[in-house]
Amino acid sequence: MSSEKLKPLEAGDPKKVGGYRLLARLGAGGMGRVYLGRSKGGRPVAVKVIHPHLAEDAQFRRRFEAEVAAVRRVGGIHTVQVVDARADADPPWLVTEYIAGPSLHEAVGEHGAFSAAAVAGLGAGLAEGLMAIHERGVVHRDLKPGNVLLAQDGPRIIDFGIARALDATSQTTRTSVVGTPGFMSPEQLRGREVGPASDVFCLAAVLAFAATGRRPFGEGPIEALGYRVVNEEPDLTGVPEPLLPLIASGLEKDPADRPGLDVFLERCSALAEGGDAPLPEPVSTMIATRVAETEVLAPPPQDAPGNGRRFPPLGRRRLPVAAAAVAVVLLVAFAAWAIEDDRNAPAISKAGATPSQTPTSPAPAPQPSEIASTTDSATPTPTPSSDPTRKAFEKISAGDCLDAYERPSGEWSRSKPRAVGCGRSDAYLKVWKVIDGDLGCNRHGADLDGELWWSYGKEPNEITLCVQRQFHTGDCFLATKGEEKNSVAISNTDLMTSWPCGAGSAPGEYDFVLRITAFTSGACPQGGRRVHWEVRGRTLCARIV
């Protein structure tokens, strides 16, 4: 339950609820006041006492009783566990485990946006928690920064006060508009049926807040926020590039266009792969302070069989996350459409090696005849043993993923290949074969298979990487107009492109920016600005931006 700053009890506050002694005030919400309490065994707990005027409402009592039943079904690493509850008490109350740490809203409000690594670790933890909630047939419906607590051992999702069981007989599930403006999904605001995809939208909005320090749909009156959520695109300026496609796809207006929580868990875990996710130092200090304050008021019991674990050491300054949500410092977050490293190395095209192009004005891909004449007149080619570009090609093996893509100019975005984790959002290509020459890269014999080659050198020392595009939900690529009216045409080269989804228009000779909504063995949603193609025996679903 919420861990706001501890405040002393006031004269009108109860001293005990059920068998739980109250120690301090934690805060208040729409349903009631929350206290820090202590169980008979000495454990700190959060006690929510329902407002008297609500307790007098028979309909609310029934709703509260249903809430308690729903919450008791939920269990998971990143959710807060129910300890006890009495729906028939006067007033009703609910007791959960106490999390000694600030809310995400409080932490970002006081200390600013989180790093890309910390946001990735947060996203993995929250996705795992929501998956546990959904497995019990419950939709949270109000995931927001204030309902995410930052503890020493990972984030926690709290406040299931408006969660509803996915029960077809429940009219409130289908028609109630409940949630927090600015983080609610479009279908919530429209009063339409709400399912797990609504929590995905909320999750993406929460991660955007953590990454930028502001709400993705801005501030203002409830009506204005609601209008923007339903009709306007979110402001994702400042979201780190590795997280941008994932968060943008989670904020799609149509629930069918949003990825599942498994995609969030996989992508965030991959981005955070390799270690603990460091929180900003002031936030770590906030957590340690809350733990210390709690231990003063409710000292942890001595370790004994059945007493469970004690609080972690106060000196810890990093936030460990569960195995499925480990995190690592991202060394660099770059704009994938603009940055090119190793600018002094020879620029590589699919056809072979060429001299460097001017970084600020990429030239069209050279023709083979141009390559031959340029190479003949250039400085003698380094021997294979001293050529850094060749060494980079020799390091690549089948199964590696590369952070390169096709530019509108016809060149690869990098001058030489670099392997990255295949789960990363910038893993655009996967190498399925390394050969001499380029004649062995066509394995499907299809017009559209999303596969090309990347070669370097000249016979007999030519090295070729056979690559295929990795289709990540939320990524955007370029396409042209088809021969038929209002049709969209793509080629294998088009599938290798990447372009910012929020760029507004397609560059050069291209006509469309397409956002990937799914790469599936099933069918794609139809209608609107949606298009689809068969690629490698599966269906690539996209929507015109």
Q: What are the DSSP calls for 367-434, one per residue?
A: PHHHHHHHHHHSSPPPPTTT-HHHHHHHT--TT-EES--B-TTSSBSSSS--EE-TTSTT--EEEEEE
pLDDT digits (tens, 9 = 90+) for 471-499: 988 889 999 998 888 889 999 899 999 98
In angstroms, the first-to-last Cα distance of the chain is 40
- β-strand partners of 466: 433, 453
Distance CA 487, CA 531 (A): 9
DSSP state of 441: -
If you count DSSP H runs as helices and E runs as strands, how many of each does the chain have, helices first? 14, 22
Measured in residues, the chain has a length of 545
Task: Reply yes or no on whether 142 is catalytic.
Answer: yes
pLDDT at residue 12 greater than cutoff 70: yes
Distance CA 29, CA 94 (A): 13
Q: What integer best gives the mean pLDDT of the chain?
A: 77
More confident position, 37 or 348: 37
Handedness of CA 427, 431, 436, 438 (dihedral sign): negative
Contacts 24+ apart (CB under 8 A), 349-352: 349/410, 349/411, 349/412, 350/412, 350/452, 350/453, 350/454, 350/455, 351/455, 352/455, 352/456, 352/457, 352/458, 352/462
> Phi and psi (nearest 5°) for 46?
-105, 130
Q: Please state the rounded mean pLDDT for residues 81-102.
A: 87
Kindly report which listed range (155-164, 343-352, 429-438) carries the lowest average pLDDT score.
Answer: 343-352
Number of Cβ within 10 Å of residue 528's Cβ equals 10
Q: Which of 255, 256, 71 is nearest to 164 (CA)?
A: 71
How are beta strands 82-86 and 401-402 bridged, if at all? unpaired
pLDDT at residue 164 greater than cutoff 50: no
Q: Which of 142, 403, 426, 438 is catalytic?
A: 142
pLDDT digits (tens, 9 = 90+) for 214-264: 999 999 888 899 999 999 999 999 999 889 999 999 999 999 999 999 999
pTM, entire model: 0.62
Three-class secondary structure of residue 538 per DSSP: strand
DSSP state of 353: E
pLDDT at residue 1 greater than cutoff 80: no
What's the token pair of residue 509? 């000779």
Distance CA 286, CA 272 (A): 23
- Which pLDDT score, from 0 to 100, does residue 384 have? 54
pLDDT at residue 351 greater than cutoff 70: no
- β-strand partners of 395: none
Q: How confident is the model at residue 302 (pLDDT cuts 50, 70, 90)?
A: low
Q: How confident is the model at residue 514 (pLDDT cuts 50, 70, 90)?
A: very high
**Contact between 420 and 402 (Cβ < 8 Å):** yes
Domains with residue ranges and CATH for the chain: 16-299+317-325 (1.10.510.10), 347-469 (no CATH), 476-544 (no CATH)
Please count the CA atoms within 13 angstroms of the CA of 427 that sit on its side-chain side. Answer: 17
- Which pLDDT score, from 0 to 100, does residue 397 have? 92
What's the token pair of residue 273? 């792969």
Q: Which of 491, 485, 484 is nearest to 514 (CA)?
A: 491
pLDDT at residue 524 greater than cutoff 50: yes
Q: How confident is the model at residue 383 (pLDDT cuts 50, 70, 90)?
A: low
Q: Which of 143, 171, 141 is nearest to 156 (CA)?
A: 143
- Which pLDDT score, from 0 to 100, does residue 369 have? 35
pLDDT at residue 209 greater than cutoff 90: yes
Q: Which of 95, 79, 64 is nearest to 134 (CA)?
A: 79
What's the token pair of residue 157? 């999702």
- Which pLDDT score, from 0 to 100, does residue 143 have? 92
pLDDT at residue 358 greater than cutoff 50: no
Distance CA 80, CA 332 (A): 34
